[in-house]
Structure 1
Amino acid sequence: MKFYSVLVVVLTTMFCSAISAKELPVEAFASAPGIDKLKISPDGTKLSMIQTLDTDKEQLVLVSLIDLETDEQKFLVKADSRDLTIYSVIWANNKQLLMRAAYASKRYGIPVTETRLMVIDVETGKNRSVVNGQLLRKLVRAPQFQSNIVDLMPADEQHFLLALDGFNFGTGTSVVKINLDGELYEMVATSRENLYDWIADRQHRPRIAMFRDDTRFEVKEKLIDSGDFRTLWQFERFSEQEVWPIGFDADPNILYVSAYHDGRLAIFKTNLSEPQPQLHLVKADDNYDVPADMSYSWQDNKVISIGGDYVDSEYQAFQKALDLAIPDADNHIVSMSHDKNRYIVESSSATHAGSYLLGDRKDKSMMFLLDKYSELKPELMVAKQKIQYKARDGLTIEGFLSTPLGYKQGAIPTIIFPHGGPISFDDDGFDYWTQFFANRGYAVLQMNFRGSHGYGFDFKQMGLQGWGLQMQDDVEDGTRWLINEGIADAKRICIVGASYGGYAALMGAVKTPDLYQCVVSFAGVTDVEALVKSHRRYTNYEVVKKQVGDDFDLLEERSPITHAKKINVPVLLVHGTKDRSVGVAQSRDMHKALRRHDKNVQYIELEDGDHYLSTNSHRLQMFKAMDEFLKQHLNAAK
């Protein structure tokens, strides 16, 4: 593949050599991407995107459209980002977009997140909910989640498959075929008790049904031309017998699944025509879990990627050409026209937050479109260094160390930054929190403590019901390792975290009062007992108990709020009032507990804020407060 010289200009901008350190304004890090989630229309003539726009009076999230033939740009949807989160936009056909959105609500007094699916006319900008009119009248209740697309059916410009509950008073999800041009729909698969999700084959038939009864899961096949099901796999959540369907091949009997192989998640395929389908290994890794994903090309009628890597020779060659043209970067094709000619590449690296480029295979050209974070110049960012250390019981913990630009050696002020989840992970990719800390002169340590995702079954099991125990020890051991390495200044260390990371930050101050000089908790869990009990009226209550624990006396003992008196360092708490993952009461109550004991605590409440700092003003408020707090208590000299 040949590329025009315009690309060389782009690459020079993206990957030029490092220069001297410069402290960037907080806004450079604390602003959401101005434009993101670019998608190209099926005919390759238009681009859709999600755009953020803040003014003195408004904080907006928009769906925007650019005509590549005329360069005309227009706004199709405008909403207040504090009220609505638009998290994806998909081309249904050349004239209509499907927009997924979420918002905070309450049902029967219970705080919940609702999702909706809107269809947008790209000519007029008119939009409407997909679930309305005739369909809505057939429901006995409005579904909480209305954006679960089972199959887009790209060869059919008028229809797609949507999973919905609410057709009866029990729990169970059906599949309906939606007509994009009106209110007509067709029921294609009816619900069963405890059925919560579906997977369609490549012939657009709902074939795999997922059932959950408390912590027990069943994967069933819906038999073709029948309303009957047969059970394929049954397992307990968090067991080594888990089998999670991913998707079908062109052959309607070949199904790909994620399951454990030698203690690591791997990808298998199975033949549903067999009386007892067997798992046949497709991709495994000796050290890490294989990502449970695959891509299918409906134009070529075949699977083209498995576990994050292309398996089709044409696409492998295509990826190789991209990587030669844009070296030292992770390059992903995120959208492609139906004729596979025009495509959008998202390119990023450890020091580059990401750019979008538009390619044309016939013209053998590629042009730069935009940077996601225009002020975060790669030459001012730092790459993460993969590290390992031994926990006190001998377990190897993997982590990532970031040091300020130009750092050579010596002990410097440090941020310990455990991730949320806790069944999540940190990697070496671009991270705006870490870059912000490094830009302020701090070393940053992120560790994948036991219980983190990606390291196999045994490693994950070590974190179940382990809050405040060995998971917490792993964080402490990483801190002491960094001190012993001569990188962290033992008198200038702050522990910072969000969600579970906020819990780990506060527990660090409880368990090791002399190790840290300050604590920052965003949306942190402070009362683990209350967190578990708050799920009593949700369908995942038993799963939460199995993951976190159900001995409430023990959970109370492992909660920072129980030990507020032991915290003797300054604390910054920040929480959004519309957080639907960790309720705002967690930080409100912790603030009160610390104040009762005359502790040094600052509490900031983000009005209408969510769990993810989705609104620019909330990000800015959080980062400015954190910047001032860290400088005050770590005294990082530039």
Structure 2
Amino acid sequence: MRSVLQATVLGLLLASEGLAAQPASRPSIADFAEPPVATGARLSADGKLLAARSWQGDTSRILIFDATNPSKPPRALPLGKSDVTSISWAGANRLLLRVRKYEKLFDQVYPFTRLIVVDIDTGQSRVADPANQGVLGGDVLYTDPDGQTALVASQDTIFDTPAVKRVDLATGKATLVEKPRPDVWDWYADSDGVVRAGFAYDNRAWKLFYRDKAGEPLRTIKGKFDKNSDSSVDRFTFGRAGTGTIITNERTGRFGVYRYDFTSGSIGEAIFEDPEVDVTGVWGDRWSGDISGIEYENDRKRFVWLDPDLKQTQARIDRALPTTVNEIVSRSRDKAKLLIFSSSASDPGAYFLLDQTTRKMNPVYAPLARIDPAQLSATTHLRYAARDGLGIPAYLTLPKGKPGKLLPTIVMPHGGPFIRDSWEYDTFVQFIASRGYAVFQPQFRGSTGYGKSFVEKGYGQWGRAMQDDLDDGLDHLIKTGVADPKRVCIVGASYGGYAALWGAIRNPERYRCAASLAGVTDLDAQLKANRKSFTATRYFREWRTKVAGEQKVDLATVSPLQQAARLKVPVLIGHGEKDEVVPVRQGRAIVQALQGGRAEVTSVFYAKSGHDLEGEGDLADYLGRLEAFLHKHNPAG
């Protein structure tokens, strides 16, 4: 049972509607495959309503909860097939939804984004700035307190950089505020609705078109990194009097937060920098413009609050909920009410509403109500040395109730590859662990969050040093007695699916089987279809392809499709027919190439799913197939 602030609600997760206790065994496939009730919840400015995105079959919805009466059924606003990527409130009764769809442009697939305005009272919706015809649209820079207008950055055509427009949210009509400027892809506005800057990035040089206050023309501030540096600027924040902050990795190789003087164009003292990992986020007070908090992630998410009241509040919440990461995701304008999401690697989490005037915190809803955290397996953080001495972070999840020695083991590399795993609930990790396996998640070189040098070590290392890191991690588990070397399989999705196939091809002596979901099988074809697969997002402004490395390695030598004849161990191939990230033809090509070969191949293609298993019932089907596949080729018993 969880406690809440100042002790008050006993067994609150188990007592609330939809959060009933599960049998004391393990969750079923249906439990694990249950879609979340809703995600991405945000609190209205007056603290009375909560909006979150949800799906019903293939129809997108926004659910509106009564934050003060969570037992009341939420109201659903259907949105058709729009994929909502972010939610923000404009006043107390209007929502701004950024929606996305994938389209092919010049033989490459791009996510096109638009802004939709939804009136809560009537349920009516409209497109903001309908003249927006580019790839990028709907970047909300500011909304006025009453929710009548918003500053939005978007492209008029695919050939333009974004302009800034003031959108009348009642009609969707837009008027120009700042015209497009060469190389300016990021615009910033302050808490008074003044467009303060446009940021232009060109290789190692950058410049800021900046003004101190309304009515002034934009002046140019030039910046440049050393020619041998791969440093970059992530973002700026702006205060009221010409001062602000810059988030950059220029000083230490890790992203930190520093004071920035917009008059001299100089980086000042550090506000926060971690000795090992990057800053991942900064919270600005929406109504004052001041920085209130900073987020970074080592073994788990951590929060540094500069606002003393929020610092004290975070400490109280953490004392009440000591086993979870407790994130303040949204708050009312008067700061009296805060929306908290509490979760961990072994807890899918729940949303709580904290009323600071009464010091009471009550549950609103749990996204995955059928999963009982008491049935899940603990995940720990560790570090091991790769063969070249590089320290590699990793997560290890041991099956609940089993001794942690000589376990059947699943190596699970993450997707991306230029992302990282986190200490948070993962359906596949917990599902596989519940079936009796240790699950190992190495944060191989190239994973982001650990600084520039760690990312750079992954450039050009698909199938090579990145793969070595997986093998070295497995050796660490074997040496420490956790893994049974005779009972190991490798499983992954996207880049992880590539690594699973390549691991089985390159080192069949290590792995009894491999499972790939939406995995890349032809590196050269993937590079042409989606070049962003091969660079880290924070460094992608330079538009350089880094996959081949300085040696210009022949990608066919590390591509599962071209090396399919070498595969000997059983494989499971899964792919969504609507995948716009890794085209389904890559999955079909590897299945065809393996037919008649030495490897036993099991394959499944999902007509309604894209890169993730979004189709109704598809996740449950794949989990069932994966369980049967692992039981056959690497039984946990």
Q: What residue identity is the alignment partner of 1:402? A: T
Question: 2: distance between equivalents of 1:541 and 1:345?
Answer: 33
1:303 aligns with 2:291: yes
Q: What residue identity is the alignment partner of 1:211? A: A
1:594 aligns with 2:597: no
Question: 2: distance between equivalents of 1:43 and 1:19?
Answer: 36
3-state DSSP of counterpart to 2:115: strand
Would the alpha carbon gap of residues 212 and 23 (structure 1) be closer, same or farther in structure 2, given more than 3 Å must change? same
Q: Which residue of 1 aligns with 2:298?
A: none
Question: 1: distance between equivalents of 2:617 and 2:580?
Answer: 19
Contact kept? 1:176, 1:186, Cα under 8 Å: yes
Would the alpha carbon gap of residues 180 and 465 (structure 1) be closer, same or farther in structure 2, given more than 3 Å must change? same
Would the alpha carbon gap of residues 92 and 315 (structure 1) be closer, same or farther in structure 2, given more than 3 Å must change? same
CA shift, 1:315, in A, is 1.0
3-state DSSP of counterpart to 1:408: coil
Gap runs ≥5 in structure 2 = 296-302
Quote the RMSD (CA, aligned, Å). Answer: 3.0
* Superposition pairs of residues 186-225 of structure 1, within 5 angstroms: 186-213=175-202, 215=203, 218-223=206-211, 225=215
Would the alpha carbon gap of residues 474 and 72 (structure 1) be closer, same or farther in structure 2, given more than 3 Å must change? closer
* Superposition pairs of residues 288-327 of structure 1, within 5 angstroms: 288-291=277-280, 293-307=281-295, 308-327=303-322
Gap runs ≥5 in structure 1 = none
Question: 1: distance between equivalents of 2:307 and 2:636?
Answer: 51
* Superposition pairs of residues 164-563 of structure 1, within 5 angstroms: 164-166=154-156, 170-213=159-202, 215=203, 218-223=206-211, 225=215, 228-235=218-225, 239-274=229-264, 276-291=265-280, 293-307=281-295, 308-535=303-530, 543=543, 545-549=545-549, 554-563=554-563
Q: Which residue of 2 aligns with 1:103?
A: 101
3-state DSSP of counterpart to 1:546: coil
TM-score, length of structure 1 as denominator length: 0.89
CA shift, 1:452, in A, is 1.3
3-state DSSP of counterpart to 2:11: helix
Query: 502-511 or 359-368, which moves further after superposition?
Result: 359-368
Q: Which residue of 2 aligns with 1:65?
A: 64
Question: 2: distance between equivalents of 1:612 and 1:549?
Answer: 29
Q: Deviations over 1:565-613 (max 9, x none)?
A: 1110111111122222222222121111111535321222222422233
Q: What residue identity is the alignment partner of 1:566? A: R
Q: What residue identity is the alignment partner of 2:137? A: Q
Query: 522-531 or 406-415, which moves further after superposition?
Result: 406-415
Q: Of the candidates 10, 28, 40, which is equivalent to residue 25 of structure 1?
A: 28
Contact kept? 1:263, 1:458, Cα under 8 Å: yes
Question: 2: distance between equivalents of 1:482 and 1:20?
Answer: 32
Q: Deviations over 1:53-109 (max 9, x none)?
A: 3xxxx4433212234577464222243xxx432233221112211122222333466
CA shift, 1:508, in A, is 0.5
3-state DSSP of counterpart to 2:26: coil
Q: Which residue of 2 aligns with 1:610?
A: 610
Question: 1: distance between equivalents of 2:379 and 2:92?
Answer: 41
Question: 2: distance between equivalents of 1:163 and 1:383?
Answer: 43
CA shift, 1:239, in A, is 4.2
TM-score, length of structure 2 as denominator length: 0.89
Question: 2: distance between equivalents of 1:315 and 1:259?
Answer: 27
Q: Which residue of 2 aligns with 1:52?
A: 55
Would the alpha carbon gap of residues 631 and 322 (structure 1) be closer, same or farther in structure 2, given more than 3 Å must change? same
Q: Deviations over 1:366-417 (max 9, x none)?
A: 2112222112211111221222222122222221111100122431211000
Contact kept? 2:84, 2:98, Cα under 8 Å: yes
CA shift, 1:325, in A, is 2.5
CA shift, 1:563, in A, is 0.9
Q: Deviations over 1:130-153 (max 9, x none)?
A: 132xxx2xx6xx122322212234
Would the alpha carbon gap of residues 106 and 407 (structure 1) be closer, same or farther in structure 2, given more than 3 Å must change? same
Aligned residue pairs total: 616
Contact kept? 1:99, 1:118, Cα under 8 Å: yes
Contact kept? 1:6, 1:367, Cα under 8 Å: no
Q: Which residue of 2 aligns with 1:146?
A: 137
Contact kept? 1:20, 1:406, Cα under 8 Å: no
CA shift, 1:237, in A, is 11
3-state DSSP of counterpart to 1:406: coil
Q: Of the candidates 36, 39, 51, which is equivalent to residue 42 of structure 2?
A: 39
3-state DSSP of counterpart to 2:476: helix
Q: Percent identity of the aligned residues?
A: 30
Contact kept? 1:577, 1:608, Cα under 8 Å: yes
Question: 1: distance between equivalents of 2:267 and 2:532?
Answer: 38
CA shift, 1:253, in A, is 2.8
Q: Which residue of 2 aligns with 1:566?
A: 566
3-state DSSP of counterpart to 2:586: helix
3-state DSSP of counterpart to 2:504: helix
